Each structure stands twice: as structure tokens, then as C-alpha cells.
Amino acid sequence: MKRINNLLLLLVLVLGGQDVQVSSSFHLPGKKINTKYCRHQQQQQQQQRPSCGIAASRSTAMKISSGGGVVGEVDSGVGEVDKVYRRHADGRGIKVSIIVGVITAAMGYLYGKVLSFSVTTLWHTLPSMLHMETLNPTYFITGICTIGGLLMGILSSALSSSTFTVADFVSLFSSSGPKTLPSSRVHLLPLLLLSLVTSTFGFSVGPEAPMVCAGALIGASIARYWYGENVDNGNHQETLAYAGAAGALTAFMGIPLAGSIFALELTSSHAGLNKAGGKRALSSTIISSIAALITIRAVFEPYSAIGGHFDYGKVVALLSGRTMIVTSVACGAGGALLGTVFHKLVAIIKKIAWNTKIPPIVNTTNNNGAKSDSINKKKNISWIRPVFIKTLIGLLVGIISSNYPQTLFWGEGSLQTMISGQQIAFIDTKHGLSHLLTSSALVDPSLPFETAAAAAQVGLAKLLAIALACAGKFPGGIIFPLMFAAAPLAHSISSLLSVSSGLVPVIVMCLMAATQASVTRTPLATVLILSLSASAQTQLSVLLPGMILSSYLGVYFSSLLSRNSYFSYGW
């Protein structure tokens, strides 16, 4: 146990960057102590404590400065009973964190298999059944996306009372006070269904965010079952919700530890871990993430290869410190600009699509006591607007995708095409489409970018497709979509500036990191995701320093460019 605690303490010291209170035992919520005995101890010591639960168990704390150094220790004088309690709580907390990791891993794995089958059926099997030689690619892609929008409009209207989105997750966990999540029995299946339809029909938002929400719902439900009506159940729910989010994200992406840091950074409005969640949930999220990874690699996919698969190409032999810093600063500023343009564009489209003037409804009654007809009309037409808006957005996304088919889907499966500047053909990737379905493309996805304008077209088309999906309230994540949009823009800039080929991988990775981090405010998780998803041939020792700098600068510059952000954070 001491070894685990030491490793976790080392991780926090390495992360640094913010003032946090770290429990010397890295406490995990567990069994309550005897409250009568606690009150007896309080009377003997004539000392007030905030509670006999979690707050009383934090006997020793260290104040860690932004540089990671220990400022001082505080001993609260907790007796042997609290020490015994902490040992039991740690053991019980580890067990429940492992359970959460295993369950969310199974859920994420099953969801991934269903999604893969759905995408293959819709975009490969169906065109074959419709006789591909006579199929018009423009009509097919546009029609599929439009049908997807219509279906999402109907489903979201029918399930409006059961939706739980990543915006809800961020708003709830970034606010102060105990956290209580809705029931997974009511919200989990609608959440997964809406995400499945969104991703299957080619919209440019990914399953990462729904995985975070689904894992959080499962974790909170396990907390309610495990701890019952504990007085500190809100903190238990918060801890295991973070653990569930980490486990689900780890299982879906196959990347250890990144899911833990992402969940805790996502709910912070600055470049750092959530203060409250980080103190209580860091160790639990790491344990859950490890348990999820072991479950996937040892049980569900024991023979699959370990390691990342994105190849960034050969980097210049000697990258000087000055070149690295200049590139990182420029990409940090560029990523912040792209991120700001993106979330401003989403806000504008949302305002146009959803902010309509609705005549006031007066709850009047007639002589017979019947409600006013205006209320009944309102109820009857309330579903029309979401169906119309989502269908229209499906049509617009379909038009974009028929002209730029490489922008279909959330981007993880075809990201290698953009990283390589289309040196790797779109058809050769996981989400690649047949040559017939891409025959109407304005920029051929099977050939390398010929000009800077061609690369810029693809990047901007992807950015617009993401913004439309987000503004249309299609549930999904933006981690890989934003990275996908940034990569061709990096190639475009490199071409315009006549940058040497050895420096292009640095620019591509740095701009991808800065753009994604500036929007989600998750710089460290972004670094981990890009690093752990890179292939063994990628020269990470050269790319990593610049990527770290550009990620954090992206968050910093974006806060200077705009006071608003993509998410609404609670206080």
C-alpha cells in the first residue's frame, strides 16, 4: 500500500502546476466509522470537527507549491481509530475502483464493437447491396447524413427528459458542493443510443465524450449501491463518477492514464486538474484506468498489439532549442486562434438555430375549466423544431462530406491520412470509403495534398462540420475531430512558409495539441493522448517538449483571446 501511495504522490509532484492539498494516505472513500465513538472522542478532546466521515480522516496534509515542493505539514491529531478507518477505507476504495474499471471497460468494449459493426454495415455493406456501379456518391452520402439528422431529431425529442451530456458533466463537476448524478437506469441507454446514431451516420463528433458521461453514470450508481445512504455520498459519487469516466475512456481509446487526467482536467476552467476532484479522485481514477486497461488487454483483446499507431514521419536530425520554442509558441498561438474561432462559430450557429422568439403562453381557463388552446398547441409542436434543425444540419453535413468525404466520422480512424498530408490514402484507413463514394471529392482523398489551398480546404471543411454537429446538439466528443481539423491546416501553413520536411511533423503535432487543448482546457491529457497513440517509429524525444509547451500555451492564449469558453463552468 505504501508503494502505491508513493507512486501516486510522485505523479502529483510531477504534474505540479497548481496548489493542491494532497492527503498523505491518498484517501479513498470507504466504510464509515462508529459515529457514537467519534462524538465521544470529540467531547473528550473538546474539539469540533466538520464530520465523522471523510473530512475527519484527513490526518496529515502537505501543501504543495506550484513547483512541486513541500511547503509544510499539518497534524490534526487524529487518533488510532481514524488510522484504522483510513486503512479500511483505502482497501475498500481500491476494490470499488477496480470494480468500476472492469464494468466500464466491458461497457466501452461492447459499445465499440456495436459501433464498428454499425459503421461497416451502413457505409460498406449497404452500398454493395445497392449496386455500387450505379450509385451516385453525392446523393448517397448526403442522403445518409440527412436521414441521420432526421433520426437524431426524432430520438432526441422522444428522449429529451433522459439525456445527460458532457456539458452537464462539466457544469456539475466544476461547481462546488456535493455531486449527485442521475440514475444510470434511466439515462445510460438513451445516452449510448444517441451517441451510436451520431457516430454511425458520419457526424464529426466522437464517442469520447459520451464514454465519459456513461462511465460517470455507472460510477455514481455503483457509489449509491456500495455506500448506501452515507452522509458523504455526494463525495463518493464524485470520486467514482470520475473513476467511471476514466475507465470508460481508457477502454474505448486503449490509452492508459490519459483517461484519468482528461476527466479531471475537463472539469477545470484552467490548465490544471480540478481542485476538489483531484484531491479526492486522482488515485481512484488511476486505479480504475489500470483495471480497465487490464480487462481489455487480458480478457477481451489478449492478442492485439500493444502501442500506438500514428506515424508522424521523420523529424529533422537536429532540432535546436530555439527552433523548438519558436515553433511551439507559434503553434500555441495558432491553435488558440483556431479553438477560439471554433467555439465562437458554435455559439453563433446555436444562436441562429435555437434562440427563437416564442410567444408567451398564458395559463388561462375557460368557463368549463379547460386549459387554453395555446398550451396544447405548444405541446404539440415542441418536437418540430429539434427535428427540423437536426435534419437541416444533417443535410449541410452531408453536402460538406460529399465534397470532402475524408471529413466524415469523428476522425480517429482516419487521422493518419491527415497526419501524413494524405500520403496515406483515406481508403487505406479504418474509416476509409470506397473509391466510388469518394469520386465526387473536390480534394482527392487518395492523393497527397498538391497545394496549400487543398489542405486548407479539408481542414476548414472539417472545422465547419464539427461546429455544425456541436451547435445542433449532436452528442459527441471533439478530441480527435479537432486534431483532425488542425493537421491539414498545419500542412497548409508548412507549405505556404516552405518549411523543411523535417520540421513538418513538429508543426503538425504541436498545432493538433494546441487546438484541442485550447477548447477542452486539457493540456496534459492531450499530451498523453498524442504521445501514447504515436507509433514506435515516432521520435517522441524530439516531439514531446514542443508539444507540451504548445498545449499549455494554447490554453493560455485562448484565455487572452476570449473570456468565453466552449464549456460553461460552474462555480
Statement: residue 266 has pLDDT above 50: yes
At residue 244, the pLDDT reads 94
Do residues 270 and 126 touch, judged by C-beta distance below 8 A? no
| Residue in the structure block whose three cell numbers are 496529515 | 60
On the question of pLDDT at 367 being above 90, the answer is no
Report yes or no: 448 and 440 within 8 Å, Cβ to Cβ: no
pLDDT score at 5: 47
Least confident range from 90-94, 197-201, 268-272, 384-388: namely 90-94
Task: Please give the Cα distance from 144 to 425 (Å, whole number).
Answer: 23
Confidence band for 306, pLDDT divided at 50, 70 and 90: confident
Alpha carbon 419 to chain centroid, angstroms: 21
Q: What is the pLDDT at residue 456?
A: 96
Average pLDDT over residues 430-459: 92
Q: How many CB atoms lie within 10 A of CB 506?
A: 28
Indicate the Cα dihedral angle 510, 511, 513, 515, nearest 10°. Answer: 160
* pLDDT value, residue 132: 66
Q: Which three cell numbers stand for residue 226?
A: 456500495
pLDDT of residue 277: 67
- Give dist(CA 457, CA 255) in Å, integer: 31
Burial (Cβ within 10 Å: 0-12, 13-18, ≥19) of residue 389: buried
Q: Which domains does the chain have, with CATH numbers?
A: 89-300 (1.10.3080.10), 321-356+381-561 (1.10.3080.10)
What's the pLDDT band for 313 if we cut at 50, 70, 90?
A: confident
Helix, strand, coil content of the chain in percent (nearest 5): 65, 5, 30
Question: Cα separation of 164 and 143, whole Å?
Answer: 28
Lowest mean pLDDT across 282-286, 389-393, 548-552: 282-286
97-133 pLDDT per residue, tens: 999 999 999 999 999 999 999 999 999 999 888 876 6
Confidence of residue 50 (pLDDT cuts 50, 70, 90): very low
Q: What is the pLDDT of residue 88?
A: 39
Please check the confidence at residue 16 and state whether its pLDDT lies above 70: no
pLDDT average, residue stretch 24-39: 36
